[in-house]
Structure 1
């Protein structure tokens, strides 16, 4: 089981692609600009998209993917877009509304569309993909309704928090389970801690406080830093997380979770 990091930036600039992870070759977890690095044949293999929340940097790949692969998926079931009902309502009303973008939940036909919107709920465990991967929906705490995901692997769970600020419900959900990888966001340096709080994101001080909840041997991976802020974030983290090993995710990175 492999998770490929297609994008892990909080916005765009040269070599900065927004959040998207590819599980195996048929499940997307979020669909930011990083989706555009996939070959057309790879795009056509995607059968499921798990969306953490409705913000543009996590969903803008969905309409473009649908347009690209529609003619290559004739006769196949629709791509299932899984998200909270509130998130699906935003996609339906403000994206697939035949104004901002064609409604690919009715194209090429109402009976056989290229996309299907599928609601989920926090705590639900989905079994998806050709490899029947078990994926749990986790709580997130953001400025809009949001979730994270835990992909169950043989050596423990790969946990993606989604966009989130301080989130006691997440640590409660993870109690007593083995986590092999924790992918948690940090969007802003400490100089912008007030903006981070208002926007429902982490800065170094809030992240350091959250990580006091983490125990056990896991790989800590940080994502969603805004372009141009990486060095400031690293410096701030060096002061607040001395001795704590972590990785900054990079686009193109592959994370192996065993079979």
Structure 2
């Protein structure tokens, strides 16, 4: 198994794509603008989309993907969109409503749609073909939100790939991670320290908060920073480097490939 980083920016600009990860070639973890760099053939192979929350930078590609592949996937099962019930309700009401975008949960027909919405709950473990499993982790954001742990094959002795999603400091997350072998952690840091108030209001991280959170993380875990705003990479990473964390911390990059097993 491997994770390909399609996008890891907090917004868009030249060379910046919003959050999307591809597990192998058929499972999307979040669906930001980075999905648009996949070829039509690659888009057609996606069978599952797992969403952390309803904000546009994480879901924008869902309706566009549906439109792109609907004809090519005729006769195949719908793409399964997995998310919290509240996230799915937001998609129904505010996206697939016939006003902002056609309802692809009923197109090309109600009996054979290109998308199917599937609810999950925090703590649930989702199962996919080939024995792949994704655990739904707690997160704390301005809307109902979760993170994810892509679990290694049972008995492999490998650690999990953990993605926090958009989150403020959340004790529930670290309580769970203390009981989960973690190989790599993808965690957001959306703002600089001087924007601490904005980070608090929007329930995002800044470098000082990140440093406090990483004290709960076991030694030896590779830490990757995501969701940095365009133009802010150097100052944010500089502040993280000056925070005194004992972990190896790197900025995540679009196109990066992370092996899980």
TM bracket (short chain): over 0.9
Counterpart in 2 of 1:237? Answer: 240
Aligned ranges 1:33-48 → 2 under 5 Å: 33-48=33-48
Which of 198, 212, 222 pairs up with 1:209?
212
Counterpart in 2 of 1:127? Answer: 127
User: How big is each residue's C-alpha offset from its partner over 1:10-56, in whole Å with a ceiling of 9 and x where there is no partner?
Assistant: 00000000000000100000000000010100000000000000000
C-alpha distance in structure 2 between counterparts of 1:107 and 1:25, whole Å: 24
C-alpha distance in structure 2 between counterparts of 1:221 and 1:238, whole Å: 12
C-alpha distance in structure 1 between counterparts of 2:116 and 2:193, whole Å: 40
Structure 1 unaligned regions, length at least 5: none
Which of 161, 182, 188 pairs up with 1:179?
182
SS of match in other structure, 1:221: strand
**More moved, 22-31 vs 211-220:** 211-220
TM-score by length of 1: 0.97
Whether 2:12 is the aligned partner of 1:9: answer: no
**2:220 touches 2:247 (CA, 8 Å); kept in 1?**
no
Alignment RMSD: 0.9
Which of 173, 191, 195 pairs up with 2:194?
191
Whether 2:52 is the aligned partner of 1:52: answer: yes
C-alpha distance in structure 2 between counterparts of 1:208 and 1:112, whole Å: 48
Counterpart in 2 of 1:117? Answer: 117
C-alpha distance in structure 2 between counterparts of 1:142 and 1:241, whole Å: 26
SS of match in other structure, 2:6: strand
Whether 2:114 is the aligned partner of 1:103: answer: no
Over 4 Å off, 4+ runs: none
Counterpart in 1 of 2:144? Answer: 145
Q: CA deviation at 1:239?
A: 1.6
C-alpha distance in structure 2 between counterparts of 1:255 and 1:121, whole Å: 26
Counterpart in 2 of 1:86? Answer: 86
Q: CA deviation at 1:97?
A: 0.3
**2:185 touches 2:223 (CA, 8 Å); kept in 1?**
yes
C-alpha distance in structure 1 between counterparts of 2:18 and 2:184, whole Å: 20
TM-score by length of 2: 0.97
Q: CA deviation at 1:176?
A: 2.5
Q: CA deviation at 1:114?
A: 0.2
Whether 2:72 is the aligned partner of 1:66: answer: no
C-alpha distance in structure 1 between counterparts of 2:186 and 2:79, whole Å: 25
User: How big is each residue's C-alpha offset from its partner over 1:35-79, in whole Å with a ceiling of 9 and x where there is no partner?
Assistant: 001010000000000000000000000000000000110111000
Which of 141, 144, 159 pairs up with 2:162?
159
